[in-house]
Amino acid sequence: MKMNELAAALGCSIVLPPGQTADIDIAGVQGLEHAGPGYLTFLSNPKYAPKLRQTQASAVLSTKPVEGIATLISANPYHDYARALEFYYQPPRPASVIHPTAAIAPTAKIGENASIGAFVSIGDNVVIGRNAVLHPHTVIYPGAVIGDDFTAHSHSVVREFCRIGNRVLLQNNVVVGGDGFGFAKRADNTHHKIVQSGVTVIEDDVEIQSLTSVDRASMGETRVKRGAKLDSLVQIGHNCVVGEDNIICAQTGLAGSSVLEKDVLLAGQVGVSGHLTIHEGATIYAQSGIGGDVPAKARLSGSPAFEASDWLRAITAFQKLPEILRDVRELKKAAQKDHA
């Protein structure tokens, strides 16, 4: 695309250095360190501004003009970078055909323009909307109901009676509606499995990354609300609620009946103990342990987690504990000597 065409498509104005025109070719989008001539890069974090002095890119997305390089002025450079990528790469969509090896129950209802790959299994009374893409080895259990524009990558599974909205994307090996982890102890200390009689509900515009499990409820439902994004290797326990536009990063685990309100961010390896509420807009930093309710817009870190700014001071002091302990011992010896 020409630079001026790309800017128009993104809704950006252009500020040019002397002698440069806006009709040069832009072959793609790359990061600051790797972008060469003919490529667009972006500056979304001011701390990386010094790297612009070394970039070979022909243009940059930025909130303000950058000296010596064509600048596409953007209110949100990171978002426009993501939009620009879509002009240069679109994931291939399989043809709208049903592979002869797919096993589809006669009672299943599949909308128009579906692509059903090799060895897909679709059970009785399943309903799937329009424009579905089911890659090879996807399994949809009986009674599942799925909306329009659904994409399931290979080896993803939607279990019985679960409900999925529109424009939902499941990456490889996702399990929606696997049994929750529920057992009752018998008198002899052996374990009796509790039937997980509820369902999992995934609302519109949710994306779930590879190897993540969203368990079905023991009773009622587990629900992932509109626009939530779940990273790889995330565990959502039974009867949890994941709120609208939540971001849950890799290796995070929610024990049963955790409730996350809107706009919650859980960074990597956060552990949530269950039967608690993380209120709207809270941010929980990596490797934190949450054992109780979290107030709205709180920023917590550590295990057990507490206010992130206090945690930063505490972790700085923690590294000095051996030195502090040595000083205390010396003071104690000096005090004992003076007392003697």
Q: How many CB atoms lie within 10 A of CB 101?
A: 11
With 0-12 CB in 10 A as exposed, 13-18 as middle and 19+ as buried, what is 221?
A: middle
> Residue 60 carries which side chain, given as an amino acid letter?
V
Q: What's the CA dihedral at 306, 311, 315, 318 to 10 degrees? A: -60
Active site residue 339: no
Per annotation, catalytic residue among 135, 238, 275, 279: 238
- Beta 253-254 vs 133-134: how paired, if at all? unpaired
Q: Say what the pLDDT of residue 340 is.
A: 67
Residue with tokens 């667009």: 40
Cis amide linkage into residue 65, ω under 30° from 0:
no
Q: Is the pTM of this model over 0.85?
A: yes
Closest CA to 229 of 215, 240, 245, 241: 245
For 35-88, what is each residue's pLDDT tens digit? 999 999 999 988 888 888 889 999 999 999 999 999 999 999 999 999 999 999
Instruction: Return per-residue pLDDT of the chain as tens, 340 residues.
Output: 999 999 999 999 999 999 889 999 999 999 998 999 999 999 998 888 888 888 999 999 999 999 999 999 999 999 999 999 999 998 888 999 999 999 999 999 999 999 999 999 999 999 999 999 999 999 999 999 999 999 999 999 999 999 999 999 999 999 999 999 999 999 999 999 999 999 999 999 999 999 999 999 999 999 999 999 999 999 999 999 999 999 999 999 999 999 999 999 999 999 999 999 999 999 999 999 999 999 999 999 999 999 999 999 998 888 888 998 898 998 988 888 877 6
Domains of the chain, first to last:
3-88 (3.40.1390.10), 156-304 (2.160.10.10)
**Amino acid 137: pLDDT:** 98
Q: Which tokens go with 302?
A: 């550590």
Q: What distance in Å separates the CA atoms of residue 182 and residue 189, rounded to the nearest whole number?
A: 15
